[in-house]
């Protein structure tokens, strides 16, 4: 019984995007690990920018300096 925890920054992650993420991860676990999707659990944990650090700095501060999490 796989349990998958996804930690993401609290951004504009809509209900629809969360559903798509859950669906695609479930499909990958079914395909790659041959696990029953009805026994696969996925948890999305949204973390505030102040509570996430990268390169020795809070993400909130990095964003104030122009850092972006968008794909280039």
Active-site residue list: 2
| Cβ-contact 44, 21 below 8 angstroms | yes
Write down the residue that tokens 């499909």 correspond to: 27
For residue 3, give Cα distances in angstroms to 19, 32, 40, 67, 68: 16, 15, 6, 31, 29
């Amino acid at each position: 019984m796989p349990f998958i925890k996804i930690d993401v920054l609290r951004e504009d992650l809509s209900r629809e995007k969360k559903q798509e993420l859950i669906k695609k991860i479930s499909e990958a676990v079914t395909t790659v690990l041959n696990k029953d999707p009805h026994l696969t659990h996925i948890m999305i944990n949204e973390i505030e920018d102040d509570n996430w650090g990268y390169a020795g700095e809070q993400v909130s501060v990095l964003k104030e300096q122009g850092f972006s999490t968008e794909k280039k």
